[in-house]
Amino acid sequence: MLTFRTDKNLTPVQTGLLILSAILAAAYLGDGFGLALPYPFNVVLKASGIVLLGVIALMRGYWLLALGLFFGSAGDAFLALQPSQIAFGIGAFGIGHIIYIALFTGELRRAPTRGLWGYIAAAGLAIFGAIMLIALQPHFGEMRIPASVYNGIIMLMAILAVMSRAHPLAIAGALLFVISDSVLAWRLFADALPWGGPVVWVTYYLAQAGICLGLSKRS
């Protein structure tokens, strides 16, 4: 029987769903090594692990967090379609990150910032985001506006995360998102970093899992 809890411990059912989610995410790694499922089953596989994270968040009573995860899974599906629907993927991920921005803003309202170290980390992220945006501008092409807006959204999400006193898993998830999306941007728009596929997927999944578990816990 499914049970809904909002404490910091996973129920056995939620733990089972988390393990299954990780297994599905690991299975999708084969897509980068020539072991992909035939289309469109690979699209379903790519999205399924994040869908299960959303189900876990929903079971724990965090419907807004679940919505952010579901938008992330939609973004996964859009990018895996043939041909890839980059604009829709960016839009779905952007909405998911806007939801995460709202959640990290809530964490800042509940408790004071981390002080000096939080501001230093936030400044470092802002500088990194600006450098990335400038370096990638020549490669964005017709996606310049949506890609630039998305860059700002994800950097704001990470900045709010490091300034907040959210659970460390959630903060780590936000930072892993920056790593994942940075490598993905160079691969997607600049046709660079050919080795980066597995890096993008592993850091992305761990980012979503960290945010799912961290924002449904209380420190």
The answer to the question of residue 5 being in a domain is: no
77: closest CA among 32, 107, 39, 36?
Answer: 39
**8 Å CB contact between 146 and 91:** yes
Give the integer Cα–Cα distance in Å for 72 and 189.
Answer: 20
Place of tokens 């020539």: 34
* Residue at 4 is within a domain: no
18 in any annotated domain = yes
pLDDT of residue 95 exceeding 50: yes
Q: What is the pLDDT of residue 33?
A: 67
Low-confidence winner among 26-30, 76-80, 93-97, 167-171 (lowest mean pLDDT): 26-30
Total structural domains within the chain: 1
pLDDT computed for residue 34 by the predictor: 63
- Tell me the mean pLDDT in the region 25-34: 82
With bands split at pLDDT 50, 70 and 90, how would you rate the model's confidence at 210? very high
CB 167 within 8 A of CB 106: no
In a domain, 107, yes or no: yes
Instruction: List the domain range (segments joined by +) for residue 79.
Output: 12-215
The reported pLDDT for the residue numbered 217 is: 77
pLDDT band at 88 (very low <50, low <70, confident <90, very high): very high
The per-residue pLDDT for 112 is 86
Does residue 2 sit within a domain?
A: no
Supply the angle between the helices 197-215 and 168-190 in degrees, to the nearest 10.
Answer: 150
Average of pLDDT values for 71-78? 97
91 found inside a domain = yes
Global pTM reads 0.92
Phi, psi torsion values for 46, nearest 5 degrees: -60, -40
Q: Is residue 108 domain-resident?
A: yes
Does a structural domain hold residue 3? Answer: no
At residue 8, does pLDDT exceed 70?
A: no
Residue 5 has pLDDT above 50, yes or no: no
Q: What gap in Å lies between CA 86 and CA 95, rounded to an integer?
A: 14
